[in-house]
Amino acid sequence: MHTSKKLALLLFAALLSTPLAAKELLNSSYDIARELFAEINPLFIAHWQQQSGETLTINQSHGGSSRQAQAILQGLRADVVTFNQSTDIDVLHQRGNLLPANWRERLANNASPYYSTMAFLVRKGNPKQISSWQDLAKPGVGLVFPNPKTSGNARYTYLGAYGDALQRFDNDDAKARNWVKTFLANVVVFDTGGRGATTSFVDRQLGDVLITFESEVNGIIKQYPDQQFERVVPPTNVLAEFPVAWIDRNIQRNGTEKQAKAYLEFLYSSAAQQVLARHFYRVHDADVVAATAAQFPVTKLFKVEDLFSSWDAVQSTHFASGGVLDQLLAEGKR
Amino acid sequence: MSQTALNSSRRWIRPLLINLGVVLTLLLLVVPLVFIFVAAFSAGVGGLWQNLTEPDMLHAIGLTLLVAGLTVPINLIFGTLIAWCVTRFSFPGRRLLLTLIDIPFAVSPVVAGLLYLLLYGSNGPFANILDQHDIQLMFAWPGLVMVTVFVSCPFVVRELVPLMSTLGTEQEEAAVLLGASGWQVFWHITLPNIRWALLYGVILTNARAVGEFGAVSVVSGTIRGQTNTLPLHIELLQQDYNTAGAFIAAALLTLIAIATLVVKAVLQWKLARQH
């Protein structure tokens, strides 16, 4: 019995170790993208098989994208990253030199095959009449979104609100700041992540508006049909890019240069863009855009870099300890 | 206070305390436990089967068993050696060694995970050597085994040391005087005396190894179908809005825990009879 047990263990270990013949790609991604890539990966595997005759296996790792970047810096050998925040890819260059600084220029549209923006999830019938960012700061409106300190998703919410205010007040920062203070005072609960915020809004019935990515909002509406939530996309909004990159150091080591690049280029193909649009991400492919126009309300998008200089500056002035966010939260409590 | 007053106050204090105990046990232990299984079956038998046979779930179960299957023998041998060392020999630093053994209990598992990551990750002192030989420890199953061995290593030692101290060395000394070799002494004298405690330690080690979350979550990299253990898989399923799947995985872990408790209770009963 003992030897058979040992044999089984050895067999199992062999099963676990990487097979030498078949090529593997590891895609390190953000935490809510599993279903998306579960749908895209088989398409690429078939495409690659047809093109090169090679059978590919694609493994997925999902987590908060800052945490994923940390793991790659510590030695997780991901071939490609598909993140929801470009600063997390920059970190891979700055701290580990795993890829060149100009990674954005290697693929079209700032290396962002798809993008999204923020949307509001409101309760049945939109009882608080929410239609724009401005409405969110009205008295008596309860807001739910994660803490911008810990969640990339919420950083976009904060910047979306702030950017909208800057545009409304003709770039008068003092006025915008004041408005954001009343906006933040309406927050009912700051969860640490997007999932927690959804639970607060859906299960604990807290607040009137849940703010998250447009793609997520549509997913939640589909997930809880009986609650009859409604979606509101404000007329001006922040552009949230979903940047992708191959990790040069790792693909050289893994010998997957061709496959990794082809995989990311495939995300721009019409087949992949259709899947993306079905998951409520906004895409660039003209035909897919035309075919799916009805599901994406028109909104005027601004880039974070255009209104707030750079992401680095945003990080240090707004989100660092004692930064604008902390100040506004403290002032709002008084 | 007169005797009757004391009796009458006892008359209502006793049921109050008993009821309080029962209600708390129900609320904190029984209801959540039952709820896990109710939620697991919420998807129906078909959903249960579909979730259980899903490749990532099967792999998570297999990986969890592999990690436990490697951790237990390693800690069994290591724990027995340490306990033997500490109770059969006297040397400077003996107490210190006993204290050091408890460190995995004292530190948070997350700290243990980070420690291994810093040591064996690509910024650690061994990064170059590991790199040259193309050995991947962190974010692969060897890393999962390493941290699990760390967090579960005190169990066997902690079970053996008190027992071996009370047993004393007379029988072993007699065996040596009669000409037995060290191995013979261990095999024929020590092992029969400690076997139940040893098994008990193994069961606790196994329970911990199967359920460990914190340390493995740091070194896993959560690659589905590769480095995702059952506890990590629960979290991922939950994040996927697959509540039923998450509860099915949780129910599996709970079943393992209950089985462990049953075996433990039987062993305890046998141990009590032996003494």
pLDDT digits (tens, 9 = 90+) for B40-68: 988 888 889 999 999 999 999 999 999 99
**Contact criterion met (CB < 8 Å) for A34 and B240:** yes
Q: Over pLDDT 90: what percentage of chain B?
A: 52
Instruction: Report how far apart, in Å, the C-alpha atoms of B223 and of each of A86, A248, B60, B63, B227 are.
Output: 22, 20, 10, 12, 5
Q: How far is Cα B212 from Cα B222, in angstroms, rounded to an integer?
A: 14
**Contact criterion met (CB < 8 Å) for B221 and A71:** yes
Of A12, A61, A96, the CB nearest to B221: A61
Interface test with A, best of B126, B226, B242 (most A CBs within 10 A): B226
Tell me: pLDDT of B7 over 70.
Answer: no
| Mean residue pLDDT across chain B | 89
- The per-residue pLDDT for A19 is 44
Tell me: pLDDT of A112 over 50.
Answer: yes
Q: How far is Cα A216 from Cα B143, in angstroms, rounded to an integer?
A: 34
Farthest CA pair distance, chain A: 79
Among A2-6, B178-182, B213-217, the minimum mean pLDDT is found in: A2-6
Q: Where are the beta strands (DSSP E) in chain A?
A: 23-30, 56-63, 80-82, 114-116, 118-122, 143-144, 187-189, 209-213, 230-232, 236-238, 240-241, 244-246, 282-283, 300-302
- Residue A331 phi, psi dihedral angles, 5° rounding: -65, -35
Class of domain A118-238+303-333: alpha beta
Distance from CA of B123 to the nearest CA of A (A): 6
Tell me: pLDDT of B157 over 90.
Answer: yes
pLDDT (average), residues A296-307: 92
**Contact criterion met (CB < 8 Å) for A77 and B136:** yes
Interface test with B, best of A5, A16, A37 (most B CBs within 10 A): A16
Give the pLDDT band of residue A162 (cuts 50, 70, 90).
Answer: very high
User: In chain A, what are the domain boundaries?
Assistant: 22-115+241-295, 118-238+303-333
**Contact criterion met (CB < 8 Å) for A223 and B62:** no
DSSP string, B47-111: HHHHHHTSHHHHHHHHHHHHHHHHHHHHHHHHHHHHHHHHHH---TTHHHHHHHHTHHHHS-HHH
CA atoms within 13 A on the CB side of A9: 16
For A164-173, the pLDDT digits (tens) are 999 999 999 9
**Contact criterion met (CB < 8 Å) for B66 and A9:** yes
Beta bridge partner(s), residue A245? A81
- The per-residue pLDDT for A114 is 97
Residues of chain B that touch chain A, judged by Cβ-Cβ distance less than 8 Å: 62-63, 66, 69-70, 117, 121-123, 127, 136, 138-139, 141, 221-226, 236, 238-241
Give the pLDDT band of residue A14 (cuts 50, 70, 90).
Answer: very low
Among A91-95, B2-6, B43-47, the minimum mean pLDDT is found in: B2-6
- The per-residue pLDDT for A249 is 93
For B67-95, the pLDDT digits (tens) are 999 999 999 999 999 999 999 888 898 88
Nearest to B150, CA basis, from B124, B199, B114, B195: B114
State the pairing for strand pair A187-189/A143-144: parallel
Q: What is the CATH number of domain A22-115+241-295?
A: 3.40.190.10
**Contact criterion met (CB < 8 Å) for B123 and A73:** yes
Q: Among residues 205-224 of chain A, which lie with CB inside 8 Å of chain B?
A: 219, 223
For B213-254, the pLDDT digits (tens) are 999 999 998 898 889 999 999 988 887 778 889 999 999 999
- The per-residue pLDDT for A2 is 52
State the pairing for strand pair A300-302/A236-238: parallel
Q: How far is Cα A228 from Cα A126, in angstroms, rounded to an integer?
A: 10
User: In chain B, what are the domain boundaries?
Assistant: 1-44, 54-274
Beta bridge partner(s), residue A118? A213
- The per-residue pLDDT for B4 is 61
- Of how many residues is chain B composed? 275
| Cβ-based contacts of B240 with chain A (< 8 Å) | 34-35
Q: How far is Cα B139 from Cα A177, in angstroms, rounded to an integer?
A: 43
Q: SS3 of A29, please?
A: strand
Cβ A80 vs Cβ A255: under 8 Å: no
Instruction: Report how far apart, in Å, the C-alpha atoms of B173 and of each of B90, B176, B179 are.
Output: 15, 5, 10
State the ipTM, two decimals: 0.75
Report which DSSP code applies to A233: -
- The per-residue pLDDT for B60 is 94
> Is the model more confident about A239 or about A4?
A239
pLDDT (average), residues A20-42: 86
- The per-residue pLDDT for A10 is 47
Give the pLDDT band of residue A5 (cuts 50, 70, 90).
Answer: low
- Residue B185 phi, psi dihedral angles, 5° rounding: -60, -45
Of B141, B223, B238, the CB nearest to A61: B223
Tell me: pLDDT of A312 over 90.
Answer: no
Give the pLDDT band of residue A263 (cuts 50, 70, 90).
Answer: very high
- The per-residue pLDDT for A1 is 42
Q: How far is Cα B170 from Cα A143, in angstroms, rounded to an integer?
A: 73
| Cβ-based contacts of B70 with chain A (< 8 Å) | 9
- Of how many residues is chain A composed? 334
- The per-residue pLDDT for B8 is 66
Q: How far is Cα B123 from Cα B100, in angstroms, rounded to an integer?
A: 26
Instruction: Report how far apart, in Å, the C-alpha atoms of A112 and of each of A235, A245, A274 are.
Output: 23, 9, 15
- The per-residue pLDDT for A12 is 53
Q: How far is Cα B206 from Cα B200, in angstroms, rounded to an integer?
A: 10
Q: How far is Cα A303 from Cα A160, in angstroms, rounded to an integer?
A: 10
Instruction: Report how far apart, in Å, the C-alpha atoms of A283 and of each of A154, A301, B64 are.
Output: 22, 14, 40
Distance from CA of B245 to the nearest CA of A (A): 15
Give the pLDDT band of residue A11 (cuts 50, 70, 90).
Answer: very low
Distance from CA of B15 to the nearest CA of A (A): 36
Q: SS3 of A23, please?
A: strand
Q: Which H helix or E strand runs over B185? A: helix B182-185
| Cβ-based contacts of B66 with chain A (< 8 Å) | 9, 12-13, 16
pLDDT (average), residues A177-201: 90
Give the pLDDT band of residue A288 (cuts 50, 70, 90).
Answer: very high
Nearest to A73, CA basis, from A97, A96, A103, A101: A96
**Burial (CB count <10 Å: 0-12, 13-18, 19+), residue B3:** exposed
**Contact criterion met (CB < 8 Å) for A31 and B239:** yes
Q: Please count the residue pairs, one from chain A and one from chain B, whose beta carbons lie less than 8 angstroms apart.
A: 61
CA atoms within 13 A on the CB side of B130: 16
- The per-residue pLDDT for B169 is 86
Q: How far is Cα B232 from Cα B140, in angstroms, rounded to an integer?
A: 14
**Contact criterion met (CB < 8 Å) for A61 and B222:** yes
Distance from CA of A65 to the nearest CA of B (A): 12
Superfamily of domain B54-274: MetI-like (1.10.3720.10)
DSSP string, A96-116: H--S-TTGGGGSHHHH-SEEE
Q: Over pLDDT 70: what percentage of chain B?
A: 96
CA atoms within 13 A on the CB side of A252: 5
